[in-house]
Amino acid sequence: MIAVIDFGSQYTQLIARRIRECRVYSEIFSCYSLPHDIPVDKLEGLILSGGPGSVYKTDPRRFRHFFALHVPVLGICYGMQLAVQLHGGIVKHSAKREYGRAAVTVKQSPLFVGLPRTFSVWMSHGDRVAKMPRAARTIASTDTTAIAAVQFGNIYGLQFHPEVRHTQYGRRIINNFLTRICKAQKTWSMRTFVAQEVRRIRDTVGTEKVLCAISGGIDSTVAAAITTKAIGRNLYGVFVDNGLLRLREKEEVRTALSRRLNLRIIDAKKAFLKQLRGVKNPEQKRKIIGRAFITIFETEAKKVKEVEYLVQGTLYPDVIESGKGVVPSAVIKSHHNVGGLPRKMNLKIIEPLRMLFKDEVRDIARVLKLPSSFIERKPFPGPGLAVRIVGPVTEQRLRILRDADHIIREEARTLKKYRDIWQIFAVLLPLGSVGVMGDKRTYDSVCAIRAVTSEDGMTADWVRLPQDFLAHVSRRITNEVHGINRVVYDITSKPPSTIEWE
């Protein structure tokens, strides 16, 4: 096992993910973990993440124990600076901050076996190593950073980020660390992951009945499939019609899942809409929805009787955006199933996919042989159309958005690159706009189209949709949807925007 120590980096899960891609098992630990938190008998190596801190601002000696575990260590960015500072080197703030692409030149080292001498890497730092520890060797440099990688004993450090896609050969570097330096065993696969989660769920719940929150999307379906493997008919799927669904969604979910699952469909439209009445603030909406879901699950648990656990298909981006990673981070938005949960709950949560990204879940779905219609389903957020109606949610605005969304999704399937699109949907803006239809003045709503590509939902780019397609969709929406007289196209990536508008 490789332990990834999280110092508050945005990229910690990406490190774990790259390790998984090399078929090695890893776990993430907070930088505040104590020595006995880490199972040293299984430990093959440590990777120290980057982080927003500076090693000269807070005393780094409290992290000394990570270097006393007698396994190879790879420090990335802050992790490298920590290793250097704790071994007699000096790290200083640099006037020349370095963000983005840089060309690195490497020397001979087990880390760089099989790589060209120069390649492109991703930097993101304001501090740099000013003096090396004794016996340390510089193994890479860039034009602006003389010490871009170090090696001393079995400690390695990289100033750049091998885990991000923009770093060429990043995965190869991580693989070299795992195989050549740690001699880690390559035993991890999606199959072993499923087996491990099945065991974990079985050990946790025993012979009890369990509820599973079902949305009809891939995450909750995969979570349910794994749980079914563990406990069979003791799993009760609960699908909530919260009134924020897309056109005919409930019927589609019923058809797709009622044969696979013990499925309960709950009509809670009224309750959700009542609680959302007049609410404009996106975070408030998300929290209301998160809480309303839990109230329903708790009621259902009482009906099924003797239910202690609720399974959710939560993914890592839900966790990190809600600021609930291993080390607390900024709240970007409270995902309904994480940041939107009430403080006090009667059900205990089980989340087999909590540390994975969507495309990894798709791989699991393939391993579990789920139909491709699930695997290719585009993500749809739990808070549904409520976070696509900017401003208060009303029955009428839901109807308008549902109709526009239906047209966009219907047309999108005709696109050649439909499979490459992460999501394509409509957003209803709280704006009136003047139009002219059949010689009459109209004053109706503006609808935005959002289409993005993404690998994992953490970053995204807007899709360069064909102009003819946009023209056609705009025409259909303004002709067919009563209440919309203007259509605009969202051309922002994430960051700086997010995918959903709220």
DSSP letter (8 states) at residue 64: G
Q: Is the preceding peptide bond at 52 cis, omega within 30 degrees of 0?
A: no
Q: Which lies closer to ligand XMP via its Cβ, residue 172 or residue 336?
A: 336
Q: Mask: binding to ligand XMP, 369-398, rule CB under 6 A, as x and -? A: ----------x-xxx---------------
> Contact with ligand XMP (CB under 6 A): which of 17, 87, 333, 486?
333
> Least Å distance between CB 341 and ligand XMP?
11
Catalytic residues: 77, 161, 163
Half-sphere exposure of 226 toward its Cβ, with a 13 Å CA cutoff? 29
C-alpha span between 243 and 296 (Å, rounded):
14
> Least Å distance between CB 235 and ligand XMP?
20
Residue 352, interface with ligand XMP (CB under 6 A)? no
Hey, how many other C-beta atoms are within 10 angstroms of the C-beta on 371?
12
Give the range of 39-47, 162-170, 367-375, 494-502 binding ligand XMP by CB under 6 A.
494-502
Q: Mask: binding to ligand XMP, 299-318, rule CB under 6 A, as x and -? A: ------------------xx
Which 210-249 residues touch ligand XMP, going by CB under 6 A?
A: none
> Contact with ligand XMP (CB under 6 A): which of 20, 324, 336, 397?
336
Residue 128, interface with ligand XMP (CB under 6 A)? no
Token pair, residue 202, equals 């079985």
Residue 363, interface with ligand XMP (CB under 6 A)? no
Residue 329, interface with ligand XMP (CB under 6 A)? no
Residue 87, interface with ligand XMP (CB under 6 A)? no
Q: Is the preceding peptide bond at 466 cis, omega within 30 degrees of 0?
A: no
Q: What angle do CA 37, 42, 47 make, to 5 degrees?
A: 70
> Contact with ligand XMP (CB under 6 A): which of 92, 399, 409, 494?
494
> Least Å distance between CB 463 and ligand XMP?
14
> Least Å distance between CB 420 and ligand XMP?
15
Chain position carrying tokens 């080390």: 327
C-alpha span between 74 and 30 (Å, rounded):
16
In degrees rounded to 5, what are phi and psi of residue 153? Answer: 55, -135
Residue 321, interface with ligand XMP (CB under 6 A)? yes
Distances (CA, A) of 363 to 114, 262, 307, 376: 28, 24, 30, 11
Token pair, residue 178, equals 């795992």
Do residues 483 and 443 make contact, with C-beta atoms less than 8 angstroms apart?
no
Chain position carrying tokens 């098992």: 25
Q: Note the residues at the interface with ligand XMP (CB under 6 A).
A: 286, 317-318, 321, 333, 335-337, 379, 381-383, 423, 457, 494, 498-500
